[in-house]
A and B are shown apart, each in its own frame.
Chain A
Amino acid sequence: MRLGELERAVMDVLWDRGTPLTVREVAEALHNRELAYTTVMTVLDRLAGKEMVERERAGRAWSYRPAASREAYIAQLMLDALDLSSSRDAALVRFARSVSGTEAEVLRAALAEETADGKD
């Protein structure tokens, strides 16, 4: 299986459960894929490196949770896609641009809400 698919599968588990999970718990949730414990650990490590999951000590093990919700990531991508992100790095080539101010507000608010939640 490709690494990207693994990352996605792991994130799906974290998103669907909604609580911080240890490596073992994630591996168990993915038991039908027969992944080695170390593989899951590597994937979670990579995701942490990309700041897509956050980890915290839970007793002797680390537990992981998504850094943001699926919706927040989609909102982030859409801001890029509609050329509304603050960075304006000319990273994408778009079909057409015509966005209402309200739409931009809604997307930004979705992100801001998420960041506020993350800090609680």
Chain B
Amino acid sequence: MVYAVHFAVAVLACYLIAQVLTRSTWTYDSPRVAIICWQAVGLALGLSAIGLPLAAGLAPYDDGVGTALLRLASGELVPGFGLAHAALVAGGFGVGGVLIGTTVICGLRALSAQRRHRDLLTLVARDDPAAPGALVLDHPSAAAYCLPGVRPTVVVSAGTLSLLDRAQLAAVLSHERAHADERHDLVLLPFTALCRALPWAAWVRAARDTVALLVEMRADDRARRQHMDGALAAALLRFASAPSRVTPAGALGIAEIRTTRPLPITLSIADSHLDARVRRLLTTGRPPRVRGAIALGVTATLVVTTVALFVG
């Protein structure tokens, strides 16, 4: 039972650290460290969520989870190992299956959406000397994004080209290339998958949104190395206020549509995220080395401990 308690403590520790990391703002000054911490917490949480029922089920073996599993697999049954214990072991495998399964499904869906998106881009996007290295979509709304993959593509809309000046556009393109280089889509994937697996867990969604924001900040930092801070901040602000100025074409004959739907909640989150990003670009904070080192230490210990609990 000792092992199960250890896993339970690990789950609790993951939850608490996630809470702290969600609320922290030092992470804004050191997004890369914070992203690594989040990945460690995610990994530790997944492992201990699998380990908890396994360890509870294997308690009669009075051995580490790994060793006990091997003994069970080799057909060794100890007294006291009943149906309930077997069910718990199966539950542990179930949790593992769900976690890996949702991640794989999420990844496959993203892949197929990306393939479709790439196919359509081939047909309708064009090169433009104004946006070197990027594809341009002829649409007046402002959009800039990265289609990740082995051959990543950066895309901007015509609306973006008219919205930003040259320095701002260059900064935005660097930002998107940073996403592509560092495969931020893969960083986000497990968190998106976890949101799907646990749609009722608000703190998981909060964690996902936080990681998404950190990824943006990380890309901002990369872009900021090559361009003036002001350019990127100005681009962000222009994006934020763009929609009101854009009159979508292709809207002929449907201009009478003026439905004012309540905005989805993600938009208000996007606004506060935007605010945080602009603010940090305009002030140069010193990287919080001490707090970053502590966070790295704690989360690394957490991962090592959970792995050791499995092996031991």
Contacts and interface: CB of A to CB of B under 8 A. Distances in A.
B258 interface: yes
Interface majority SS on A: helix, strand, loop or mixed? helix
Contact of B192 (A70, A90, A107): A90
A58 interface: no
Given A92-B145, A99-B243, A70 B236 contact: no
Given A74-B139, A102-B258, A94 B145 contact: yes
Contact of A95 (B137, B144, B246, B250): B144
Contacts of A113: 254
Interface residues on B, range: 35 or more
Given A74-B124, A100-B244, A91 B117 contact: yes
Given A89-B109, A93-B215, A101-B260, A81 B251 contact: no
A106 B148 CA distance: 27
B122 interface: yes
A96 B236 contact: yes
A8 B124 CA distance: 8
Contact of A92 (B147, B172, B254): B147
A77 interface: yes
Contacts of B254: 106, 109-110, 113
B248 A106 contact: yes
B175 interface: yes
A90 B189 contact: yes
B259 A77 contact: no
Interface in B221-247: 235-236, 239-240, 242-244, 246
Contact of A93 (B146, B243, B250): B146
Interface string A64-83: 00000011011111101111
B86 interface: no
Interface string B146-169: 111000000101000000000000
A2 to B, nearest CB: 9
6 contacts: A73-B124, A78-B157, A81-B145, A90-B110, A91-B110, A96-B236
Given A82-B143, A93-B176, 20 more contacts: A75-B139, A75-B250, A77-B124, A78-B141, A81-B143, A91-B110, A91-B111, A91-B148, A91-B185, A92-B145, A92-B148, A93-B188, A94-B143, A95-B143, A97-B266, A98-B242, A100-B243, A101-B259, A102-B259, A113-B254
